[in-house]
Amino acid sequence: MDTDKILKELQQDVAGLKESSQNKLSMVVFSGDMDKLLASFIIASGAAAMGMDVVMFFTFWGTPALRDKKKKAGGKDIFGKMFGVMLPKGPSKVKLSKMHMAGAGTAMMKYLMKKKNVSSLEDMIALAGELGVRIYICELSMGLMGFSHDEMIDYPGLEFVGVAKFLEEAGASRIQLFI
Amino acid sequence: MSEEIKANVTMDLKGLACPLPVVRVSQQVKKMKIGEILEAETTDPGAHADFPAWAKSTGNEIVKIDKGASSTKFYIKKLK
């Protein structure tokens, strides 16, 4: 038996496995709900602390949560303006998925979070940036909802991408989540 | 003979909630030298599961856990 040949094949297989499964977490953040966004960022920063490479892809209702409430974007058509007004403008404006109760529930949750020293969504985004969590925003969602790049938050290395970029990252990740 | 563990760095993480205790510990350990010990004091009940899980995943070691009345001190040895 040709042990050298077998050994070489095994080494190639191991190298391939290492390549296909890096210590990486890829997350699709589809939801624009405050609770789900908070959970996403807690998992992301926790994973970064565990030494993982972390990538978050924001798409659909997750996209407006990354708008900057201080920034203004002009030149929108009627649909863009409508989405702009109807969707939350940034992380401080998102609502709970349950018990929002016309704002009372979300306000109560924010009060409790402060009282129990749980970081706000804004703080969690800043922490993720500090930890090197990468954020990608779906270009299709941006275009569909009429958002412009200029109205998104300042975040280190923020990129606007398509689905292939997500699949490339997810394909090489040990964990993939859809939130 | 009681083993005396001397920490090189101490951290007060009291009051911090998930995921900050683990995040702050990981940031601190990165700055330390191999073999050094970090003493991290936390009030987060989740830390009892989280610190060992973090240590296992990152290849570091918890050498001692001191459970107090209201907080717990974890002694973490940097191995990597």
Q: What are the sequence ranges of the domains in chain A?
A: 22-178
CB contact under 8 A, A49 and B18: no
| pLDDT at position B53 | 95
| pLDDT at position B2 | 54
pLDDT digits (tens, 9 = 90+) for B52-63: 999 999 999 999
Domain B9-77 matching CATH 3.40.50.300: the answer reads no
CATH class of the region A22-178:
alpha beta
pLDDT digits (tens, 9 = 90+) for A123-150: 999 999 999 999 999 999 999 999 999 9
How close A136 gets to chain B, by Cα (Å)? Answer: 22
The answer on pLDDT for A1 being more than 90 is: no
Taking the C-alpha atoms of residue A114 and residue A158, their distance in angstroms, rounded to an integer, is 28
pLDDT digits (tens, 9 = 90+) for A22-74: 899 999 999 999 999 999 999 999 999 999 999 999 999 999 999 999 998 88
pLDDT-based confidence at B48, cuts 50/70/90? Answer: very high
Residue B42 annotated among the catalytic residues of the structure: no
Mean local confidence (pLDDT), A148-159: 95
Substitution target from B23, B51, B71 for chain A, most A beta carbons within 10 A: B23
Kindly identify which residue of chain A lies nearest to residue B24, measuring between CA atoms: A49
Taking the C-alpha atoms of residue A26 and residue B22, their distance in angstroms, rounded to an integer, is 20
The chain-wide mean pLDDT, for chain A, equals: 93
Greatest alpha-carbon span in chain A:
74
| pLDDT at position A28 | 98
Substitution target from A45, A50, A53, A127 for chain B, most B beta carbons within 10 A: A50
Domain boundaries, chain B: 9-77
| pLDDT at position B23 | 96
Mean local confidence (pLDDT), A71-90: 90
Q: What is the ipTM of this complex?
A: 0.86
Instruction: Order across the sheet with B72-77: list the strands.
Output: B9-12, B37-42, B72-77, B61-67
| pLDDT at position A52 | 96
pLDDT-based confidence at B50, cuts 50/70/90? Answer: very high
CB contact under 8 A, A50 and B26: yes
B74, B62 contact by CB (below 8 A): yes
User: Could you tell me which residues of chain A have a Cβ less than 8 Å from any Cβ in chain B?
Assistant: 42, 45-46, 48-51, 116-119, 127, 131
Kindly identify which residue of chain A lies nearest to residue B50, measuring between CA atoms: A46
Task: Find chain A residues with C-beta within 8 A of B31's C-beta.
Answer: none
- Percent of chain A surpassing pLDDT 90: 85
Q: Count of CB atoms within 10 A of residue B26's CB? A: 20
Q: Which two tokens stand for residue A47?
A: 């994973």
